[in-house]
Structure 1
Amino acid sequence: MKTNFFSLTVLKLLLTPLLVILLLPVCLQAQTIDIPTGNNPLFEFPAFQVGTPVNPPVAIGLSPSTSSQVLWSFANLPANRSEEELENGELVGFTVSGVHIKLPTGATTGTSGDATATISGTPNESAGAIEFRINVITDNGSGSAAGRTYRVSINRDPVDLAVILDRSGSMGSDIAGNFPPAAGKKTRWDFLQSGIAVMANQLQASAKPGDRLGVRMFASFPNVIPPQAPYNAPDLISLPEVIAGLPNALAQETPSGGTALGDGVLAGRDLLVADDLPHTKAMIVFSDGEQNSGDLVDAANPVQTVSGQLLRGGKPLQIHTICLGSTTANKALMNDIAAQNGGTALLLESEDEADEQAFQLAFIEQLKNIFGVQSGARIAGSFAAGTGQAAPQSFDVNKGIDALVVTLVAPAQHGAFFKTITRNGVDMKDAVNIVNGPGFISFSIKPGVTATAAQATQVAVDGKWTIVPALGTPDTAAVPFTMIVAIDDRNVKPVFSLGAQEFKVNDLLRPNVKLTVQGKPVKNAKVTVTIIQPGDDVNDLVAKSNVKAITRDDADFVVQAGDTVSAVAAKMALLLKDKSFRNKIRRKEQTIRLLFNPFDNTYKGVYNGLKVTGAYQAIFNITATHPQLGKIQRQHQESFFVHFPEIDRQASKPKAGKDLLGNVVLTFIPRATNGKFIGSGWKDAIKLEGSDIAVKKITDTGIGIYFITLSQQPEQPFRLSLAGQLVFEGTLADLGFK
């Protein structure tokens, strides 16, 4: 075929109106589409499903089917095609994401009028719009011509989501852990409800038919509590139908009791493994404190509980965690639960309004790891004192996205609103759907969908958006806010990695990013990562501090609505009131540029600043320009925990003696090879193993000293370990015990 035949044959077609060539796609619903000849409108097939075969294959034929010597050709093909098939040197078939598109046999030499192109295969990944054009001409190139562009999209697997929430007594404290909170102060449970409302708002834009939801809370007596109906159903329920009502259901609950973290995770597991449907199965687990009730998660082996129950039940579940405040050891546990169970962790601080807002956005951040929602930008700013208006905030949105959701969180009492919303300078307030919730305001829009019937039906979303937030009730002081831009996009695929799952002090961090558009690598992006790290080793500072807290033998002494707080947590709360202590642990940050490596199409960098034990944040930022999609802007945040280095076995060697009751007691003060005290909070990670050794109790004093009381005097060698690291191996005699 000659490249200029199309315009000539269209002219001929206009001169011969009796001969009309129509393309007839037979989609899965056997829908008939009549197409005018020449310039035909785009046709979009109903979305295919990952893992579901296109069976029977979709046929694209001609109407009428009486023509002869029909020549077929492709145009405007997707860049990420593979498995190309040629006939006489011309492309007649290709595959994208497991979907195979093929012209009929004889397409280049002439087919009968009843021949069909086909779409078949089994989609193997969620993909953005796959667009291609089929052109036809009859009579071996001298007849009539027609053509049409088709679009195929592939939906992700349905998601089964279990949301597991800490409803213990400590959730009744304010964000900094003060219990009871001062008059007018919101509780952690209030902020959790706001965070769930933000998540619910996002899911109303991102959920698909077939997604399911289960919700459980954990405390003590009972250890697992279902919310009110319909969330108390014994099985998963339809997420799109019920997600909007979840914040109101949680508003009926009152925090109380202990923290049965392990039982909560096991309840989520049981919801997810109740059937073997081919869904993505994931759990978001939130807790603000140390576990102290029920079947504890095994801190030394956080794939199971102390009783040996597997957290994932041997199934490929994802467990994502959110930890608010708490001790260093508990942050390590929540990090390790995620890292060793297919998930990611968010380890949040709990000191100021910025931390409140980070908590409100934590659940939507974790959705990115489950539903494929991407963050276009995260913007922190403030409303000016007196006027209550913020500076304009801008971000770029690329073409080809499925949905855009912009959420702003700010103190609820000030009534934040969007003063202006523009795209490329054009007012968009009437085109978007605006939702208000507790402590947040949000707007959403999908390409081609408007909020009001008065608007045109086709609305573009790509371009530069500029938002001016404002307050209904200004303050005499500046008021902080955080805005997050969430994008549902199956064309752009960023993959973020820290280079490893576990880290120790002095390890190298090797962050890397792969960025593809429709399966092809993007090589011209600017990629950075900002590392936010602790100022000093908190556990070492706490162990060395002379601040005294009330203690008793069990070292659990503060009760918040039935939830006991350990000595180390109480001591930490006291130290945080000291400005000089806060300055020592003040977070620091450093940004590095990741450079493109053409050998594996990955942006890579190295960070050598892991010098302190504690929780770190990694914030990735991507900007790029794509010839078809325009400007691409992406942001990703995740936490990781840096464990203490090797234990100094000599400095940490326990001492053996007896208490007043004649029980053998091991006393040890663990130190790391960098000279730092490992500190308190690691009681659950202490293990003693031996043929005749039995532990009666372990006491954490809150100052880095542990007392291990044995039930009997062991005669055989035994092993003492902390967080999987050997501290001592031998007999009591080796410790000088007589």
Structure 2
Amino acid sequence: MKKTIHLFRCMMASIVWLLLLSTTARADFPVNKPDGFVTEGEYITLYLVKGQGDKIVDFDPGAGAPAGAQSWYITAKGCPTAPARPCTFPVFTDDTQGLMTINTNTAYTATFSVGVTIGAESAIEQKVKIVVRNTIDIALVLDRSGSMSGNVNGSWPSVVDSSRWKGLITGVGLLAAKLKEFCTDKDSIGYRYFENTVFKPNAPFNGGLVSLPVNALAIQTEVASHNPGSSTALGDGMAAAAEMLKNKDDHSKIMFVFSDGEQNDGDLVRSDSPQVTVGKKNLNDSGRITTYTIGLGNAEGYLNMLEAIAEHQTDRFLTLKTIGANDITKMVEAFDAMVNRIKKESSPQFVDVRRNKYTRDGYVWKFKEKFTVNKGISKVFITLVSSPSYEDGIESLKIDSLDVLPYARQFSGIGFRTLVVDFPISERADIKPEGVWTVVGQQGGYNSATHSSFDGGTAKAPAYYLSFTVDDHLVHLDYSLGDKAKHVGDVVRPSVRLTRAGVDVKNAVVKAVQLAPGVDIGNFLATAGGEYNNPDTTDPGSPSAQKLAELLRDTAIAAKLADKVSEITLTYDGTSGTYTGSFPKLQVSGNYQVLFYVQADDSIVSKIMRYESGNYNVAQKDVDLSQSGVSVVVNGAGQTVITIRPRAGNGLYWGPGWAGSIHVNFPGAKVNNVVDKGDGTYVITIDGKLEGKGTISIGDVKILDGDASQLNCYSNHTNFWEKIKCWLIAHGLPVWLVWVIIAALIILLWLIFKKKK
């Protein structure tokens, strides 16, 4: 009996001890979210800017907390930016009041948990993320050359509202307005024009970098005050931009380059080596610069160069096809997309973009588009561009049935309109961003008769571009088309990663749509024949673009060159956490575009919809000199003149448009001039003799790598003995043995000839 009582007492003591233990460790109340933080999954996140001084944050215990003395503490979790950017974890300067000090002297991302003990009770620890962003300095390099007077599709003469210069004015204006919405108060911007040399803009942009948020909306008006000029000195423009960024070593340096054609003046940009150079200067000598590029074209070598300048990173370049509709919306879309890429850390993302035609509604033109938005959005940014643009605008904006147009901030630039809705809406905290958004737009001032838009008596509808961008710090989309130059015969493997609060979303439907050239554009232009008219400009640009624009006047040719569309569904790979797939082996050269469409149903943020696009430029993989009609002569001035019509081993010509991408690297040899004949033939004039060892390249492909004498093996002017020597060397015989064989042949022929006498 005594043992039973003793056992009972022990059990009761244990129960009491466990109850006391659970009481002291009990976590029954939360930690409140301080002002300025946003909820991102299980974390609350505060975004700060480097250099703004110490930030004091006041944490409070949440509902259900007992009265009594408080003891706050921090438990470090991780530093995702280390070791490149080590973390400085915050501290409680007064752990009895919940006052936390955050250091902003450096840029970093730190994760930790915050808790508080009050007497015998403890709060449920709150996971916290601090993101201290680096200050961003952006230098724009804008093409003001003569070819910018032409139409978007490369044709002449210029048509109202369809010129490349109009597209640049609209695109730069939108880029600046959108950057302003997603920038920090310490970000800076500046820009330079280039034509035959570098030109500074008007004040306040004629000095160095200026405050982006203060001056962004003045950029478009300044750009619109100029007109296209002469030739294309791209290298000089990039060098000037690099100089603007030189003394900002502790900032993130961004160079944004727009060009519409081959460089033909000043110091040339070289992209055939690991480092992009202008003349002989490495652009990154003054510190790391991240370069973004936009170009216009279909198969020209300068597109491959712009891609190389952006290090073949899918999210840092866009090369726009000029085959198709002659309107500026494709240019504007590229500038719109580049903001999302430049400010990726701030999380602007496309839900979708729409390109369509207005429909007639009485005396006006209208459209209606719908977009599905997920939870957790802090900003919606809507862009409208009409072509032509006359009295257009958004007349209705709803989330499901709720009218949110009264709460939108609207801005009208030259050729574009934007609407911004910030969440939470101060006047209507009950309105949430998630749901189906309906956008209704109209255009009332468009007169089809006065704008050459009648076709058989029927008015042609104006076109519109509508993009829907969200600021989402919870959902992230990363995508890639590979990070190297593409050639015929390669296989492209697109990949996408979709995460929510850092966790892979595994149930998404991810589609990749490829728009491939209908034919090999370079070979087509090389063999098409016909004539083209040089435009009335001092910057004729590439014969490739001019010839193509002329040929496209023939509707049968236009149909032949139309894109071939293919679609694949990417599958989730649990090992890499990405959705992957592959397109068929590349068969033709030219400009390819890939559109990504992503949908997912998520238990936390509901339906996720995302859109992105990318490009890659495909070149031939080699040059077969035996098929390339090589001629090497020395002219009366002592210059070496090489004539070549590069042809790949598959029998296809590289075509016109590569003059600016042909490089000669031999001791003492300097390229004086490269003439593009328009049929894929190039005449390369070199100062000095071509001798010794070196390389000749087109794009990133070597035409010749070795001794200069090898080129004579393929020249139309090569004598009989030189051809025998080349034939023997081609079969792997050493040079000394080749000379022995040739000497023996000469002696043998001499003996035969002597015997006949």
Matched, 1:238 2:207: no
TM-score, normalising length from structure 1?
0.80
- Offset, 1:541: 1.0
Residue 367 of structure 1 aligns to a residue whose secondary structure is helix
Q: How does 1:150-299 map to 2 (within 5 A)?
A: 154-182=131-159, 184-220=160-196, 223-233=197-207, 235-277=208-250, 279-299=251-271
**What is the one-letter code of the residue matched to 2:604?**
Q
**What is the one-letter code of the residue matched to 1:483?**
L
Aligned residue for 1:339? 311
Comparing 725-734 with 414-423, greater Cα deviation is found at 725-734
- Offset, 1:125: 5.5
Aligned residue for 1:36? none
Structure 1: gaps spanning 5 or more residues:
11-20, 29-42, 85-96, 105-111, 551-556
Conserved? CA contact 2:597–2:610, under 8 Å: yes
- Offset, 1:653: 6.3
- Offset, 1:322: 0.8
**What is the one-letter code of the residue matched to 2:618?**
V
**What is the one-letter code of the residue matched to 2:240?**
A
Cα distance change of structure 1 residues 563 and 149 upon mapping to structure 2, 3 Å threshold: same
- Offset, 1:692: 5.8
Conserved? CA contact 2:509–2:600, under 8 Å: yes
Cα distance change of structure 1 residues 456 and 659 upon mapping to structure 2, 3 Å threshold: same
Matched, 1:500 2:483: yes
Say what the alpha-carbon RMSD is for the aligned residues: 4.1
**What is the one-letter code of the residue matched to 1:612?**
V
**What is the one-letter code of the residue matched to 1:250?**
V
Aligned residue for 2:730? none
Match of 2:625 among 620, 633, 649: 649
- Offset, 1:3: 12
- Offset, 1:253: 0.9
- Offset, 1:185: 4.6
Cα distance change of structure 1 residues 708 and 375 upon mapping to structure 2, 3 Å threshold: same
**What is the one-letter code of the residue matched to 2:204?**
P
Conserved? CA contact 1:679–1:704, under 8 Å: yes
Residue 444 of structure 1 aligns to a residue whose secondary structure is strand
Deviation track 1:648-671 (CA, whole Å, cap 9, x = no partner) reads 233236233455777553322211
Residue 546 of structure 1 aligns to a residue whose secondary structure is coil
Cα distance change of structure 1 residues 711 and 200 upon mapping to structure 2, 3 Å threshold: closer
- Offset, 1:330: 2.1
Conserved? CA contact 2:194–2:237, under 8 Å: yes
Cα distance change of structure 1 residues 147 and 257 upon mapping to structure 2, 3 Å threshold: same
Q: How far apart in 1 are the matches of 2:658 and 2:254?
A: 28
Cα distance change of structure 1 residues 726 and 193 upon mapping to structure 2, 3 Å threshold: closer
**What is the one-letter code of the residue matched to 2:360?**
A
Deviation track 1:401-441 (CA, whole Å, cap 9, x = no partner) reads 23110112112444222232111221111121122233322
**What is the one-letter code of the residue matched to 1:218?**
F
TM-score, normalising length from structure 2?
0.78
- Offset, 1:174: 2.6
Matched, 1:300 2:283: no
Cα distance change of structure 1 residues 185 and 638 upon mapping to structure 2, 3 Å threshold: same
Conserved? CA contact 2:92–2:101, under 8 Å: no
Residue 419 of structure 1 aligns to a residue whose secondary structure is strand
Structure 2: gaps spanning 5 or more residues:
1-18, 37-42, 80-85, 449-458, 720-757
Cα distance change of structure 1 residues 415 and 531 upon mapping to structure 2, 3 Å threshold: same
- Offset, 1:326: 6.8
Cα distance change of structure 1 residues 204 and 687 upon mapping to structure 2, 3 Å threshold: closer
Q: How far apart in 2 are the matches of 1:579 and 1:170?
A: 24
**What is the one-letter code of the residue matched to 1:625?**
D
- Offset, 1:677: 0.4
Cα distance change of structure 1 residues 136 and 677 upon mapping to structure 2, 3 Å threshold: same
Residue 430 of structure 1 aligns to a residue whose secondary structure is helix
Matched, 1:401 2:374: no
Aligned residue for 1:526? 509
Match of 1:571 among 536, 542, 547: 547
Aligned residue for 2:330? 358
Residue 385 of structure 1 aligns to a residue whose secondary structure is strand
Residue 310 of structure 2 aligns to a residue whose secondary structure is helix
Aligned residue for 2:456? none
Conserved? CA contact 1:175–1:352, under 8 Å: no
Aligned residue for 2:718? 737
Alignment identity in percent? 26
Cα distance change of structure 1 residues 718 and 602 upon mapping to structure 2, 3 Å threshold: closer
Instruction: Count how many residue pairs are aligned between Structure 1 and Structure 2.
Output: 666
Aligned residue for 1:484? 467
Cα distance change of structure 1 residues 664 and 68 upon mapping to structure 2, 3 Å threshold: closer
Q: How far apart in 1 are the matches of 2:70 and 2:58?
A: 20
Conserved? CA contact 2:263–2:660, under 8 Å: no
Deviation track 1:683-703 (CA, whole Å, cap 9, x = no partner) reads 233333444655554332111
- Offset, 1:245: 1.0
Aligned residue for 2:349? 374
- Offset, 1:360: 1.4
Q: How far apart in 1 are the matches of 2:531 and 2:292?
A: 36
- Offset, 1:246: 0.8
Q: How far apart in 2 are the matches of 1:543 and 1:437?
A: 42
Residue 361 of structure 1 aligns to a residue whose secondary structure is helix
Deviation track 1:174-202 (CA, whole Å, cap 9, x = no partner) reads 323344424x4543212211112222221
**What is the one-letter code of the residue matched to 2:349?**
Q
Comparing 515-524 with 476-485, greater Cα deviation is found at 476-485
Cα distance change of structure 1 residues 430 and 313 upon mapping to structure 2, 3 Å threshold: same
Cα distance change of structure 1 residues 578 and 121 upon mapping to structure 2, 3 Å threshold: same
Q: How far apart in 1 are the matches of 2:619 and 2:527?
A: 19
Deviation track 1:24-58 (CA, whole Å, cap 9, x = no partner) reads 99999xxxxxxxxxxxxxx9997444699978997
Comparing 151-160 with 431-440, greater Cα deviation is found at 151-160
Cα distance change of structure 1 residues 471 and 546 upon mapping to structure 2, 3 Å threshold: same
Comparing 335-344 with 380-389, greater Cα deviation is found at 335-344
Q: How does 1:479-628 map to 2 (within 5 A)?
A: 479-549=462-532, 558-560=535-537, 562-628=538-604
- Offset, 1:211: 0.8
Residue 248 of structure 2 aligns to a residue whose secondary structure is coil
Aligned residue for 1:416? 392
Match of 1:316 among 272, 281, 288: 288
Aligned residue for 1:681? 657
Residue 392 of structure 1 aligns to a residue whose secondary structure is strand
- Offset, 1:386: 5.1
Q: How far apart in 1 are the matches of 2:170 and 2:588?
A: 33
Rg larger for: 2
Residue 613 of structure 2 aligns to a residue whose secondary structure is strand
Conserved? CA contact 2:352–2:371, under 8 Å: yes
Cα distance change of structure 1 residues 570 and 57 upon mapping to structure 2, 3 Å threshold: closer
Conserved? CA contact 1:162–1:271, under 8 Å: yes
Q: How far apart in 2 are the matches of 1:245 and 1:495?
A: 32
Cα distance change of structure 1 residues 317 and 66 upon mapping to structure 2, 3 Å threshold: same
Q: How far apart in 2 are the matches of 1:572 and 1:471?
A: 33
From the two aligned structures, give the one with the greater helix fraction: 2
Deviation track 1:196-243 (CA, whole Å, cap 9, x = no partner) reads 2222221232111111101111112xx11121111112x211100000
Residue 242 of structure 1 aligns to a residue whose secondary structure is helix
Q: How far apart in 1 are the matches of 2:184 and 2:71?
A: 40
Q: How far apart in 2 are the matches of 1:456 and 1:426?
A: 11
Match of 1:426 among 384, 394, 402: 402
- Offset, 1:121: 8.2
Cα distance change of structure 1 residues 24 and 303 upon mapping to structure 2, 3 Å threshold: closer
Cα distance change of structure 1 residues 466 and 68 upon mapping to structure 2, 3 Å threshold: closer
**What is the one-letter code of the residue matched to 2:493?**
R
Aligned residue for 2:419? 443
Q: How far apart in 2 are the matches of 1:645 and 1:27?
A: 57
Conserved? CA contact 1:290–1:327, under 8 Å: no
- Offset, 1:719: 4.3
